[in-house]
Structure 1
């Protein structure tokens, strides 16, 4: 079965996302986990060390500047579920304004980032990467702040990992996720509606107020 961008978006509306066994496997299978990872947007955990790293600087953050660079970096690992068709599908969604990326740059080099799909007020996180210490944590911190500022109510992480749990992500049942998803899909949010936060200090202040 050929997967079109429209079919992919319909799958997300129903809580389903695609994966492949490996980068060289041409097949795609659909996943609807019994337990789902989500980030409560008012419960992101900024540790003291992350707060110091956040405001120390030495990096810059952008959105939608290098989507292909982010997805390729996410796939650049020994084992990946991002095959050629998945890469092409999400690149098309990005061109349609339905997929987005957030990038962390250090010394002019892409050092971390995350990408995902937006449907209504739901941000469905797909993958992230880090080439330098704390780059993915910085990316997630700025992303959660941006989602809060642009009207999102649900941040889906698909699965819960120890890394995500340390930052405040939790696991919920499939039924609970589908209920939250349907509420979020019925709402509106605009990922590109406002620019990123003016400074890391602003991000940290908002995070400490909501967490």
Structure 2
């Protein structure tokens, strides 16, 4: 599989799973179908819009073409009609969020590198791409953003983006570098929830 095709698939996957996570949060907050679609679309495309604006790639891809918002809307409709099926998975929002986090961290980092940003800046943009949609989703749903209270969240995105940039620097081919970095980020996020991993907190907390 070529790197271009891989990242096209990853981008679609990231938008879809983040759209699903936004829609599931909306459903749990008892939003109507319009609110579900709004939260699905906002969650699916916000990270990419932030990345593109900071890169100067304006108008952002999500506003230049129809398909990013369409994919997120389809995800919202899937959540609306198949809520009970999705709820069979243990903690579906967390699982979808982890997948979207890993995918967007690497895709965002890659786009920044392609546009000539140095690796440290590209890694930062990868993290912002990964967490942007989730932050907006939580704010719109009147929740504290997960990035502020779930320790291995932005850190997992950082690990994925850093791994991808490092692999390219070491001369590893783009496809295995991207695949491994996404799996690392997703696995780290899921493992942190499963085993209760946290970062140090102040002694008084």
TM value normalised by structure 2 = 0.30
More helix by share: 2
> Which structure has the highest strand share of the two?
1
